[in-house]
Structure 1
């Protein structure tokens, strides 16, 4: 054998030895069980903000869908000018990045009249998160903080959300998440793992890389719930192996489903629930109606 071959064998052997040593030393640390995520059946949650069949963002819309028998809602929230936590309305009402320019009362007033404005258009209602939590105490809420952490509103919303959950006695029926992992970390500075946490985009990537690298035993999860799209960039997340990897860490897995044509195939992933804008079809499927 030549020198290059010997070097390659040596490096390979060292890598195998390092992997074996890490398996001996490292111990997986499953997440502590969270009451909010304990379901005896496959959970069906709805993102009403993307739902097509009802008046978007009105409390009536949430009531109609709750009456179908869904297990909860997935909602995006932002902070208003007067620091109220508001469900992100339809862009026909107010652009998401403009919410911080208005108080809650101003948005209510403007949405009650058909003003000819670029960002406000009447006849739609807005819903504060507090109102939703108080109206549906039996349901799970996956609450995603949408304000960028670099903004003033983004710096405030983690503490404001923690205070709201305490005031409404909702800490055991909410999962707090964000596209920005930093926001989840900020929220948990207040919650101290007393509230179920969702995985941000970087946490999902980190878990998937750990799973595919064969060094999954070194992965230390920071989330209790993964809401998986079919793909995250180039990563094909929807696989039985990845779901099983997360389950072994006591992580609940929901799948984000926009189309129901392949529902039987998706159920084979053995996920714990679905977030969908087609709740009727999923409830019919799982209830055997």
Structure 2
């Protein structure tokens, strides 16, 4: 047993020595690259974004939501986009319209005209269980073009939802870049996706001229390199991390992680933060962006403390 323990200690010491050697070598040779700060991030922080326009207060992704959130002085909107059958980019989260409208079907199988016929306030309920926005003229589908043109003072955080392996997903990056450049809103938009492949494909067109978010793979890589002491080896491909506070038991809201990302000029944003105390805690730790379903709560926090 004694010999066994000695052997284990020797192996452990050897591994520690190798790890230390690798760390020292990479630390000396690593060329830590800090991102240039895009115009999108040059306003005074913290930013507050209304999630899907503020889905806790009004039907998500409708003018009702965007108008209401604007009353609470948010810096912008966090939105999702999908492609219709006739290749129009609409502001919408789900693959299907069933959850939020009085219709059914897949967005990519419906035309824009089909979507305009639907009531996207149909299922929204208030705190008393009523449906106050059924049939409202502003509870209609919104195209990305319309959103960008009708809310010119707002920053727009765009999340590509269509899978890159689908037909709609394969077209989205090029169509999105074309629309952004046509409208001249390069400094007002941030493009991100859970699919790292969509971000990379979009950036083939944008060539780092438009602010980018990080996909799941990028966040995982940065977190574990930082946690293992090899953060100096991470090469940032994103201008911001839009992340949850916790994922699969891993806390992503530590002050050290926020400081690490900030040192690389990566703006750290958290979603969906709906409690005032948590918003305040994250801002105090150095969070750049708060994404919330309830812009009224963030408004009172910012007014009282910032």
Tell me the TM-score normalized by structure 2.
Answer: 0.85
The answer as to whether partners of 2:82 and 2:92 remain within 8 angstroms in 1 is yes
| Gaps in structure 2 of 5+ consecutive residues | 123-133
Cα pair distance change 1:97/1:154, threshold 3 Å: farther
The answer as to whether partners of 2:118 and 2:140 remain within 8 angstroms in 1 is no
Give distance in 1, aligned partners of 2:235 and 2:104.
34
Of 267, 280, 284, 1:268 maps to: 284
TM-superposed CA distance for 1:128, in Å, is 0.3
SS of the residue corresponding to residue 276 of structure 2 reads coil
Give distance in 2, aligned partners of 1:17 and 1:45.
44
Counting only pairs closer than 5 Å after superposition, residues 80-229 of structure 1 correspond to structure 2 as 80-88=84-92, 91-93=99-101, 98-111=106-119, 124-229=139-244
Aligned to 2:127: none
- 1:107-143 Cα offsets, whole Å, 9 max, x none, are 113449x9xxxxxx96531000110001122211110
Cα pair distance change 1:97/1:258, threshold 3 Å: farther
Give distance in 1, aligned partners of 2:67 and 2:282.
28
Cα pair distance change 1:262/1:96, threshold 3 Å: farther
Cα pair distance change 1:44/1:95, threshold 3 Å: farther
Cα pair distance change 1:210/1:33, threshold 3 Å: same
Aligned to 1:117: none
Cα pair distance change 1:183/1:96, threshold 3 Å: farther
Counting only pairs closer than 5 Å after superposition, residues 226-237 of structure 1 correspond to structure 2 as 226-237=241-252
Give distance in 2, aligned partners of 1:220 and 1:34.
17
- 1:173-196 Cα offsets, whole Å, 9 max, x none, are 111000111100010010000000
Of 15, 21, 24, 1:11 maps to: 15
Give distance in 2, aligned partners of 1:188 and 1:277.
29
| Gaps in structure 1 of 5+ consecutive residues | 115-120
TM-superposed CA distance for 1:8, in Å, is 3.6
Tell me the TM-score normalized by structure 1.
Answer: 0.90
RMSD over aligned Cα atoms? 2.3
Residues 35-44 or 142-151, more deviating: 35-44
Give distance in 2, aligned partners of 1:136 and 1:50.
15
Give distance in 2, aligned partners of 1:66 and 1:203.
32
The answer to whether structure 1 residue 44 and structure 2 residue 52 are counterparts is no
Of 260, 264, 269, 1:254 maps to: 269
Q: How many residues align?
A: 282
Aligned to 1:31: 35
Give distance in 2, aligned partners of 1:17 and 1:204.
26
Give distance in 2, aligned partners of 1:111 and 1:284.
31
The answer as to whether partners of 1:77 and 1:146 remain within 8 angstroms in 2 is yes
The answer as to whether partners of 2:79 and 2:156 remain within 8 angstroms in 1 is yes
TM-superposed CA distance for 1:14, in Å, is 2.3
